[in-house]
Amino acid sequence: MFPCAKCKQYTYVKNTQKTKRCVRCGHSHTVTKILESGEIVKGISIAVQTVKRRQDEFALKELGTHPQFRALKDFKIDKTIKLQQKITDEKSDDKNYVKFKKLLIELSALYREFPFYLIEIMAEKYEIPDSEVKLLTRNFLNRGILIRLEDSLFKLNQ
């Protein structure tokens, strides 16, 4: 297990490999050089757990927050904490408005971009009436909180 020399993303490599390419930035490493400076662990599950722990420690030190591991090349800072703070700061008597905002934060934490049908599914979970979903969506689009992308996808304006 070792940190990438270029982007500092932690990863693991089998000592039988000759080279290892970083999945985040694509930098190529020579395994013989890595073995001299990296940490040796036995077993793939232990290696994965160690990589996750080290990456979390690195993110806390460098970014001050836990990283989100969603997919390759999707190393992001968790911004949901800032969004949740905005919700508590905002005074609104409309319970559906606040529920809808929480719904969007949850969707944004799960997916960077999401289709409208996921909003409808989550609205059921949050007990927001179907008649309100389209109105709230339009309202959030007009306020710039929600952004419509190509292919009928949406994302939260963070």
- For residue 41, give Cα distances in angstroms to 4, 33, 67, 137, 145: 17, 16, 23, 49, 45
Looking at residue 128, its pLDDT comes to 93
Q: For the chain, 158 residues long, give each residue's pLDDT as a single digit of tens.
A: 778 888 777 777 887 888 888 877 888 888 888 777 767 777 777 777 887 788 778 777 776 776 655 544 444 444 554 555 454 445 555 889 999 989 998 888 888 888 998 899 899 989 999 889 999 999 999 999 999 998 789 998 87
| Residue 31: HSE in the Cβ half-sphere, 13 Å Cα cutoff | 11
> Which residues have a Cβ under 8 Å from the Cβ of 68 and sit 6 or more positions away?
74, 75, 76, 77, 78, 109
Could you tell me if 25 and 4 are in contact, meaning their C-beta atoms sit under 8 angstroms apart? yes
Structural domains in the chain, sorted by start = 2-76 (no CATH), 79-156 (1.10.10)
The pTM of this model reads: 0.44
Structure tokens at 30: 């020579």
* pLDDT the model gives residue 49: 81
